């Protein structure tokens, strides 16, 4: 019996050690300073880090029917002041959104199934959109009718934007199973435009494999 118990104790001890030593995980993360998308997290005894990457792109054909300005004469409303010209813009027909985030962790307290930590994070969000623009000018057909006529040809333009976020805060990771761990964090976030968000939580779900 003693000969049987010894191997069982060694096996259980080894399994517990393997669970405790898991430090690398893959999964998903979502937050302003940490980034949004697929995530790799490594959490060691005294330090840790996370890299998050996400992207979205779509494209659809431009439909000319989107522009509703035409040259059909219309009655002039009473006391109406016409707009001498206006511009219409189509929805983006070539859109890209992407982000990358990097987070540093400092473990503060460990328990059997949880980890309390502090963190600092930085992320960059980039958007790019191509759209079509059409300009119209006011034309009075007669004393009682008017129309808007296209001025020049359509223009294809591209608009880009880059937003940066920085944050510090506290977080808690809970071990749902030996390998699956859920994290909830509360950061203080500042953007490159000077905006401050006090408490907008962010979260992550990782599968620890090594």
Encode pLDDT of 152-205 as tens digits.
788 888 889 999 999 999 999 999 998 999 999 999 999 998 889 877 899 999
Return the pLDDT at 198: 79
DSSP state of 91: P
Question: Mean pLDDT throughout 135-150?
Answer: 81
**Alpha-carbon span 108 to 118, nearest angstrom:** 7
Dihedral angle sign, alpha carbons of residues 149, 152, 156, 161: negative
Nearest C-alpha neighbor of 169 from the set 123, 204, 202, 205: 202
- Do 175 and 163 contact (CB within 8 A), yes or no? no
Return the pLDDT at 147: 81
Find the CATH number of the domain harbouring 64. 2.40.160
Return the pLDDT at 71: 65
Nearest C-alpha neighbor of 98 from the set 61, 60, 58: 58
Return the pLDDT at 68: 57
Encode pLDDT of 29-48 as tens digits.
999 999 999 999 999 999 99
Q: Read off the tokens for 75.
A: 């009655």
DSSP state of 62: -
Identify the bridge partners of residue 104 per DSSP, sorted by sequence position.
Answer: 49, 120
**Alpha-carbon span 22 to 155, nearest angstrom:** 55
Encode pLDDT of 8-29 as tens digits.
443 444 344 344 579 999 999 9
Count of alpha carbons within 13 angstroms of residue 194, beta-carbon side: 0
Q: Read off the tokens for 113.
A: 């199934």
Quick check: pTM over 0.85?
no
Structural domain for 21, as ranges: 2-208
How many residues are present in the chain? 210
Domain count for the chain, please give it.
Answer: 1
């Amino acid at each position: 019996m003693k000969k049987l118990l010894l191997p069982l104790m060694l096996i259980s001890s080894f399994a517990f050690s393997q669970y405790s030593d898991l430090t690398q995980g893959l999964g998903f993360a979502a937050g302003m300073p940490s980034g949004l998308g697929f995530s790799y997290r490594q959490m060691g005894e005294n330090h840790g880090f996370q890299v998050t990457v996400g992207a979205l792109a779509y494209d659809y054909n431009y439909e000319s029917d989107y522009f509703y300005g035409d040259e059909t004469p219309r009655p002039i409303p009473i006391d109406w002041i016409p707009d001498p010209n206006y511009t219409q813009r189509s929805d983006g027909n070539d859109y890209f959104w992407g982000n990358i985030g990097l987070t540093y962790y400092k473990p503060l307290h460990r328990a059997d199934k949880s980890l309390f930590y502090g963190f600092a994070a930085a992320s960059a969000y980039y958007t790019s959109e191509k759209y079509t623009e059409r300009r119209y000018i006011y034309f009075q057909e007669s004393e009682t009718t008017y129309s808007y006529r296209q001025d020049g040809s359509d223009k294809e333009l591209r608009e880009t934007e880059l937003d940066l976020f920085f944050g510090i805060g506290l977080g808690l990771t809970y071990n749902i199973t030996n390998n699956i761990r859920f994290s909830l964090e509360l950061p203080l976030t500042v953007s490159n435009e000077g905006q401050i968000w006090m408490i907008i939580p962010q979260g992550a779900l990782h599968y620890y494999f090594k």
